[in-house]
Structure 1
């Protein structure tokens, strides 16, 4: 896969960009320490914002780390004929980071709010996490009738949790107390300076039936504390290759992001595809370098024909 980047465009009015979707010619973006859902145009300028939850805001426009919801994962979901943004907290703190939201994109400001504690607890149990270990969900992608939750391996392990979309939506809307049929796939990602990359974002490329994922590397382990930004990767996960119980080895296929041959020291948090074809996909990346702003990159992915 060839990766071509343009940018970055820095948006100082949108703190800590962490999740991004595309619908009807607009980007929707959340930040992990912001109470707003932002609407952006193609040039990454804010055109609107809506309050998701009311939080006290510091002078720098950010929610204090001790109480932030840590919105990290975001995907578009079609439900009842409407496009919704599925927005999820990471789960990396039991008290403050367990929110799940379904927010309509039709301008009616309809919101379904759900505590994700039970689902995240079931994820941890299925993965065999030790007592005190928490999930760290950094991305979610919807592929046909399945939702894939990406657990970031800077705290525990890089894991894909596979959830039936219908069951997830009944859980999100309060019609069910649990989600049945959860499956997992353990993944291995490249290392940089002795640190394994951790999943950070994802979207679905339907023409090749693959998940496009981002992963980033920080100079510290842990789901709560930030470390120095070392770099980011992009890669593909062809869904037909997923095998139950088999390690998903992405160590060779993930590609480190660079411009003009120079590796980028940026922490990509999400990828959103705006147009896809059989051998070409266009979209954008958002990066959060823990300085209170967000960086946006245009990205074009191309796949060479087989010879």
Structure 2
């Protein structure tokens, strides 16, 4: 792949362990995997707002009881925030209305997650959703293969609502390695007819315990074939877990990224990644 650029665009004080982001107009919405809030950062006036997603929210919830919000996607005026499903406390999906800035619905996905595990032949201890896309007709949910079985799986669910009857397809991927450690999905977005995804190589065989971060990739999947077009290593040090579209020109496409620093430090760096259009 041709040359890319990666730079720190700005830093936000007050958010830790960022795990997903979504940009609309000048508002950057961010979730953290140890937080009970949806954060809204106004990039123009640099103001940070907090929107509660759970009862009695805090910014540093203990690991054993945290909701583990790892995925964020949107359609029309609704944001959808997903728990990872990696423990019994992490099965929630929150619908957030962007117009009223309030929660419109809370959903318990424990039955859906159990069905996905069975359908995709993924053991509960290897189930860990870290990416979500909704295009109005189909849901694409990304299992991060950082467990022992390395099951990097995209579940395609054909339904307008996850509470309806649906058809499901599970597609498995072998993602690139760093130092012998296979990378695993950490986020994804849809741009036109392509899925752009992040994957990180982390030296661990657990969906619960963190390991040494060896680097991250950007990759692209053709929506029609569900096959990977390309992958490109973009860092040897960062654990990127959030991806959102920023800008596109005739020769360049730009994204904003955030990283999970796996600490209790309430500080988040937002990066800009520029790729040549191909």
Give the structure-1-normalised TM-score.
Answer: 0.82
Cα deviation digits, residues 137-158 of structure 1 (max 9, x gap):
0001234522211100001400
CA contact (8 A) 1:205 1:276 kept: no
Count residues in correspondence.
Answer: 273
SS at match of 1:166: coil
Q: 1:46 to 1:70 in 2, by over 3 A?
A: farther
CA contact (8 A) 2:221 2:228 kept: no
Report the CA distance between 1:274 and its aligned residue.
Answer: 2.7
Please point out which of 196, 214, 222 is paired with 1:230.
Answer: 214
Equivalent residue for 2:80?
Answer: 86
CA contact (8 A) 1:147 1:164 kept: yes
d(CA) in 2 for partners of 1:298 and 1:137?
A: 24
Equivalent residue for 2:155?
Answer: 161
Report the CA distance between 1:40 and its aligned residue.
Answer: 1.3
Q: 1:217 to 1:142 in 2, by over 3 A?
A: same
d(CA) in 2 for partners of 1:153 and 1:46?
A: 36
Please point out which of 98, 104, 115 is paired with 1:105.
Answer: 98
Q: 1:145 to 1:231 in 2, by over 3 A?
A: same
Give the structure-2-normalised TM-score.
Answer: 0.90
Equivalent residue for 1:285?
Answer: 257
Q: 1:43 to 1:271 in 2, by over 3 A?
A: farther
d(CA) in 2 for partners of 1:300 and 1:41?
A: 22
Equivalent residue for 1:204?
Answer: 190
CA contact (8 A) 1:195 1:218 kept: yes
Matches within 5 A, 1:133-212: 133-143=125-135, 145-155=137-147, 156=149, 157-168=151-162, 171=163, 176=164, 179-206=165-192, 209-212=193-196
Q: 1:180 to 1:278 in 2, by over 3 A?
A: farther
SS at match of 1:65: coil
5+ residue gaps, structure 1, are 243-247, 258-262
Matches within 5 A, 1:1-307: 1-2=1-2, 3-7=4-8, 9-42=10-43, 45-55=46-56, 57=58, 61-78=59-76, 83-94=77-88, 96-130=89-123, 132-143=124-135, 145-155=137-147, 156=149, 157-168=151-162, 171=163, 176=164, 179-206=165-192, 209-242=193-226, 248=227, 253-257=230-234, 263-276=235-248, 280-292=252-264, 293-304=267-278
Cα deviation digits, residues 239-289 of structure 1 (max 9, x gap):
1222xxxxx567xx31111xxxxx440100011003345653222001112
d(CA) in 1 for partners of 2:257 and 2:180?
A: 25
Equivalent residue for 1:245?
Answer: none
5+ residue gaps, structure 2, are none
Name the stretch that deviates more: 138-147 or 31-40. 138-147
- Name the one with the larger strand percent: 2
CA contact (8 A) 1:288 1:295 kept: no
